[in-house]
Every structure is written in C-alpha cells, then in structure tokens.
Amino acid sequence: MTIEFINAVLNDLPKIVATYNSTIASRLVTADLEPVNTASKEGWFVSHSPDRRPLWLVLADGEYAGWMSFNSFYGRPAYDGTVEVSIYLEEKFRGKGLGKICLQKAIEVSPSLKVNNLLGFIFGHNEPSLKLFYAFGFEKWAHFPKVANMDGVERDLIILGKRVS
C-alpha cells in the first residue's frame, strides 16, 4: 500500500468532518457526543498551516483514508514547540497499520515544523490508541480521572507525550 500525506484544502473539510463524525458513536475517540457540522469546524480548519500546524489528508493507494493534524497546545507562545497530534481514519482503514504510518510521519516531520514535543490526548478506555502511542515511545505525562461524562459513564483522559527533538 502506498501512503501519501497531502495538505488539506477547504473543499476537503466536508470529508474531514464526516470521518470525525464517524467516530462519535463509539464513545472511544472524541468527547463530542453529537455529530458536528462543517461550519462549526471552519475556524479549526483555518488554524492550520502547512509550515507550522499541518492538516493532512491521508491517501492509501490514492484513496482517501482519513486525516492527521497538528494542533497547538494551550495557545500561548511559550508552548509553541508542543503540539497535539490527531489521527482519524475511515472505518475501512482502521486496524490495518495505517495509524502506525501516520504516527511515524508525525514524529519524522516534527523537527522541520519546530515541534519539540508531541502529545496524544487519549481516553483511558481507548486501548488501541494507547497501545499505538506507547509502541512509539510515548509516556504518560498526565492522567485526568473521570473528566468526561459520556452517556452517564465517567471516563479518564490520558495525555501521552514524547520529546521528538
């Protein structure tokens, strides 16, 4: 399988949102409880830039497979070298090793983007994502117990971090 990462453009936002929305029902990946719409994500989209905070489409053999983004952490200048990496894949591409390829890409490009630390914000019950990040040397940097309420079930948030440069 040939994997490509291409910079997203505004016309890609509907498919990015559809991929994101496809994860909501599982209560495993995101804290949104209802689907979001494209208009609500426009500000998030424009906060990305190829040279500092990329938002990439992930293509597998030329087919759209999902997206990956770097998001600013905490929004103050002293934290510019730390970003949250997000990976969202289409259902048919989940569990096939594409997450590993995405995370490896994130680690490799971080120095060129002046990123020193990568973070993953992962629910404590999301074992596949925790396993993926731990396999790449991420460590638990924070544990927020029972901070999310999902349909009456309280969930922990784990922040995994890795120094990349």
What would the two tokens of residue 82 be? 């730390």
CB 12 within 8 A of CB 2: no
What would the two tokens of residue 20 be? 């994101």
- Residues 68 and 79: their CA atoms lie apart, in Å, by 20
Which amino acid is present at 161? G
The H or E element that residue 109 is part of is helix 98-109
Residue 84's domain spans which residues?
A: 3-163
Handedness of CA 138, 144, 145, 147 (dihedral sign): negative
Q: What is the pLDDT of residue 94?
A: 95
Rounded to 5 degrees, φ, ψ at 45 are: -60, -50
What are the pLDDT digits (tens) for 4-32? 999 999 999 999 999 999 999 999 999 99
CA-angle at 152, arms to 149 and 156, nearest 5°: 35
pTM: 0.95
What are the pLDDT digits (tens) for 93-148? 999 999 999 999 999 999 999 999 999 999 999 999 999 999 999 999 999 999 99
What domain count does the chain have? 1
Write the CATH number for 59.
3.40.630.30
